Chains A and B, each alone.
Chain A
Amino acid sequence: MTTAVLGQDTRPVGRGRPGVRSTLTGGSALGLGIAMIWFSLLVLIPLAAIVATAGKDGWSGYVDTLTNPQTWAAIKLTVGQSALVTAVNVVMGTLIAWVLVRDRFWGRGLLDLVIDIPFAMPTIVAGLVLLGLYGPKGPLGINVANTRTSVTLALAFVTLPFIVRTVQPVLAELDADVEEAAASLGAGRLTILRRLVLPSLVPAIAAGAALSFARAISEYGSLVLLSGMLPYKTEVVSVRVLSFIEGGDQTSAAALATIMLFVALFVIVVLDIIQRRVARRG
């Protein structure tokens, strides 16, 4: 089964194990130093500042934020919808990637190009377009504006490319000979898919799912016009954070942001564990 390792976790095997010797030379130490300074300035220090601001009121800041029913409803909605959309993406994103890599058809190049539009488009424009299509004046006769479905729709739109783009290169690298060999040895199509292809794709799918989920829980722009931002119904966490800031309540805003940070971290870790389990079994 060694061939199934293709496209899997390429990180060094010894990572994090005790007794691993540092491979840093002078040049790479400098590289690591620069990378860490850059990363600290952009990410670590701002994140630490948010956590510090949130901690100003001690634990009570978190408790107050979490026990506010409106905020709690927003957290449930955001996490639930993000999970739903990520699950949809796992299926649809993999399918789109498969079609783009394995099939040859007219317009494939165009489709490949268009996939990235949700990345490139300002999200408020995305919201406006979706409202035009699926709103009260929509030509399709479907009106989801100001409903929960509008949140699902907007999140699905903005997160679509993530899994497609992480799975695509891995799928392209997969050796079709291996599949042919398996077929010649009598493996059915389903077996090949289950035992050969999917295990190789799982790390990529998991990485894409993590990105997709993280993107979804922080979404704001595309929901502005489409969701109506109704408390308890379509109000997402980012809108609550904005309300706190507008009300001059930086501590609650930071507390809520920190909570979402941990939600994202939790999901990323869980996806990583799943990915390792599957990869090992493959």
Chain B
Amino acid sequence: MIQRIRIVALAAAALAIPAALSGCAASSGASSDKDSVSVVGFSVLKTANEPVIADFQKTSEGKDVSFTTSYGASGDQSRAVAGGLHADEVHLSLEPDVASLVDAGLVDASWNQTPTKGILTDSEVVFLVRKGNPLGIKTWDDLVKPGVKIITPNPASSGSAKWNILAAWAHAANAPGGNDTKAKAFVTKVLDNTVALPGSGSDALASFVAGNGDVLLAYENDSIQARAAGDDVDYILPDDTLLIQNPVALTTDASAPAADFLKFQLSEAGQSDYAKAGFRPVIQGIDVDVPGANDPSNPFPAVKTQYTIDKTFGGWEKANAEFFDDKTGVITKIIAGLNVGG
């Protein structure tokens, strides 16, 4: 008898859920698709975007706008959109993932002709270490000391890991007396000290938090979020590091409110929300406390020597071909020649 009741309840639920869903769809669908925005973003944005969307919906432009969101690894998301996933706005980890959508004809070639050059959020490459920094790691050179166990996502499978490796390269190439040969040797040493090359940034963080390694090459925003979430970790912002710039673009057939949303994301209110989630603002004059930052009241201290992908490496297209080409890339070759553990 109990079984029977359960089945009836299940059946009722099965009928009720689609009915409720279609009810929602009908109420928002009354004014058609035009009032909805589909955001496709890279994984760490999931938590960062929630308050931004909520605050946008409080404004007069955003009042009746509904959102659908999808988050995942940046490259996967880009390929999903190219493969037909509907998106009004894409917010990805690095520029080449947007460039491939331009090639696919889904994003206009002029997407980066904006005051922020198509960039929505910034971050820095930092060192995530165990609480109290037991190994006293402060600079890039501390990473290549014998016995330091490094974790970084694999640049072959994780677009975001490319930021980390390029930051190490930039350090060695731009240090006094530095050049490409020395940079190659330095990155080789970093990779020699690497004990795990997880597939993505979030996997690498999970692996580090579970106890793997001494240092994780990470994003500043990820590190701040990990600390805010209560993980037993500290992060070190080195004196010289690479600026991470996450691009945003509207697709060619983006809905009308998507442009309003993008404008809001770039406004003081939107950038404040992103700052609270650990991202460096891309506009001036944002002053918020950031829980989880080393100094919550001064969360984003200026980096003494700031490398950027454009200034230091001549843009992503050049850097990708030079470093990460799957046959001739400098980094690809270093990894192929590692032969760890024979």
When the two chains form their complex, are residues A69 and B326 in contact, meaning their CB atoms are under 8 A apart?
no
Whether B339 sits at the interface, judged by CB under 8 Å, is yes
When the two chains form their complex, are residues B157 and A70 in contact, meaning their CB atoms are under 8 A apart?
no
Whether A242 sits at the interface, judged by CB under 8 Å, is yes
Interface size, chain B (Cβ < 8 Å): 29
Min CB distance A20 to B, Å, is 45
When the two chains form their complex, are residues A242 and B336 in contact, meaning their CB atoms are under 8 A apart?
no
A139-178 near B? 1/0 per residue, CB < 8 Å: 0000001100000000000000000000000000000000
Min CB distance B147 to A, Å, is 14
Whether B62 sits at the interface, judged by CB under 8 Å, is no
When the two chains form their complex, are residues A231 and B199 in contact, meaning their CB atoms are under 8 A apart?
no
Report B161-196 residues with CB < 8 Å from chain A CB: 194-196
**Contact residues in A for B341 (Cβ distance below 8 Å):** 230, 232-233
Given contacts A135-B210, A146-B212, A243-B156, contact A225 B326 (CB under 8 A): no
Q: Choose among B100, B207, B336, B340 the residue that contacts A69 (Cβ–Cβ < 8 A).
A: B336
**Contact residues in B for A227 (Cβ distance below 8 Å):** 196
In the docked arrangement, what's the CA distance between A215 and B194, Å? 29
When the two chains form their complex, are residues B211 and A135 in contact, meaning their CB atoms are under 8 A apart?
yes
When the two chains form their complex, are residues A231 and B207 in contact, meaning their CB atoms are under 8 A apart?
no
Whether B335 sits at the interface, judged by CB under 8 Å, is yes
Q: Which residue of A lies closest to B341 (CB)?
A: A233
**Contact residues in B for A243 (Cβ distance below 8 Å):** 154, 156-157
Q: Which residue of B lies closest to A69 (CB)?
A: B336
In the docked arrangement, what's the CA distance between A136 and B212, Å? 6
Whether B203 sits at the interface, judged by CB under 8 Å, is yes
Interface residues on A, range: 20 to 34
A224-267 near B? 1/0 per residue, CB < 8 Å: 11011111110100010011111111001000000000000000
Q: Choose among B154, B157, B211 the residue that contacts A136 (Cβ–Cβ < 8 A).
A: B211
**Contact residues in A for B154 (Cβ distance below 8 Å):** 229, 239, 243
In the docked arrangement, what's the CA distance between A128 and B198, Å? 13
When the two chains form their complex, are residues B199 and A224 in contact, meaning their CB atoms are under 8 A apart?
yes
Q: Choose among B75, B158, B197 the residue that contacts A230 (Cβ–Cβ < 8 A).
A: B197
Whether B342 sits at the interface, judged by CB under 8 Å, is yes
Whether B338 sits at the interface, judged by CB under 8 Å, is yes
Whether B281 sits at the interface, judged by CB under 8 Å, is no
Whether A55 sits at the interface, judged by CB under 8 Å, is no
In the docked arrangement, what's the CA distance between A248 and B96, Å? 11
Q: Which residue of A lies closest to B79 (CB)?
A: A245
Min CB distance B26 to A, Å, is 33
Given contacts A131-B207, A242-B199, contact A228 B212 (CB under 8 A): yes
Whether A56 sits at the interface, judged by CB under 8 Å, is no
Report B319-342 residues with CB < 8 Å from chain A CB: 324, 326, 335-336, 338-342
Min CB distance A247 to B, Å, is 4
When the two chains form their complex, are residues A231 and B210 in contact, meaning their CB atoms are under 8 A apart?
no
Q: Choose among A132, A228, A242 the residue that contacts B196 (Cβ–Cβ < 8 A).
A: A228
Given contacts A132-B210, A135-B210, A146-B195, contact A231 B159 (CB under 8 A): no
Whether A137 sits at the interface, judged by CB under 8 Å, is yes
Whether B206 sits at the interface, judged by CB under 8 Å, is yes
When the two chains form their complex, are residues B156 and A247 in contact, meaning their CB atoms are under 8 A apart?
yes
**Contact residues in B for A128 (Cβ distance below 8 Å):** 206, 210
When the two chains form their complex, are residues B338 and A232 in contact, meaning their CB atoms are under 8 A apart?
yes
When the two chains form their complex, are residues A225 and B206 in contact, meaning their CB atoms are under 8 A apart?
yes
**Contact residues in B for A239 (Cβ distance below 8 Å):** 154, 157, 199
When the two chains form their complex, are residues A228 and B195 in contact, meaning their CB atoms are under 8 A apart?
yes
B115-128 near A? 1/0 per residue, CB < 8 Å: 00000000000000
In the docked arrangement, what's the CA distance between A184 and B340, Å? 60
Q: Is the interface of B mostly helix, strand, loop or mixed?
A: loop
**Contact residues in B for A228 (Cβ distance below 8 Å):** 195-198, 207, 212
In the docked arrangement, what's the CA distance between A127 and B341, Å? 22
**Contact residues in B for A244 (Cβ distance below 8 Å):** 326
Given contacts A146-B195, A146-B212, A247-B326, contact A231 B340 (CB under 8 A): yes
Min CB distance B15 to A, Å, is 27
**Contact residues in B for A68 (Cβ distance below 8 Å):** 336
Min CB distance A135 to B, Å, is 5
When the two chains form their complex, are residues B210 and A137 in contact, meaning their CB atoms are under 8 A apart?
yes
In the docked arrangement, what's the CA distance between A178 and B300, Å? 79
Min CB distance B227 to A, Å, is 18
Min CB distance B23 to A, Å, is 31
In the docked arrangement, what's the CA distance between A79 and B257, Å? 52
Q: Which residue of A lies closest to B338 (CB)?
A: A231
Q: Choose among A145, A233, A249 the residue that contacts B326 (Cβ–Cβ < 8 A).
A: A249
When the two chains form their complex, are residues A231 and B326 in contact, meaning their CB atoms are under 8 A apart?
no
**Contact residues in A for B159 (Cβ distance below 8 Å):** 246
When the two chains form their complex, are residues B198 and A229 in contact, meaning their CB atoms are under 8 A apart?
yes
When the two chains form their complex, are residues A242 and B157 in contact, meaning their CB atoms are under 8 A apart?
yes
Residue among B207, B324, B338, B342 facing the most chain A CB atoms (10 A cut-off)? B207
In the docked arrangement, what's the CA distance between A227 and B206, Å? 13
When the two chains form their complex, are residues A246 and B156 in contact, meaning their CB atoms are under 8 A apart?
yes
B residues adjacent to A (C-beta < 8 A): 75, 79, 100, 154, 156-159, 194-199, 203, 206-207, 210-212, 324, 326, 335-336, 338-342
What are 9 A-B interface contacts by the 8 Å CB criterion?
Answer: A70-B336, A136-B212, A137-B210, A225-B210, A229-B198, A231-B339, A232-B340, A233-B341, A242-B157
A residues adjacent to B (C-beta < 8 A): 68-70, 128, 131-132, 135-137, 145-146, 224-225, 227-233, 235, 239, 242-249, 252
12 further A-B contacts with Cβ under 8 Å, apart from A146-B212, A246-B158, A252-B326, are A70-B336, A136-B210, A136-B211, A228-B195, A228-B196, A228-B197, A229-B196, A229-B198, A230-B194, A231-B338, A232-B339, A246-B159
| A-B pairs, 10 with minimum CB distance | A228-B196, A137-B211, A136-B211, A243-B156, A247-B326, A233-B341, A243-B157, A246-B157, A131-B210, A225-B207
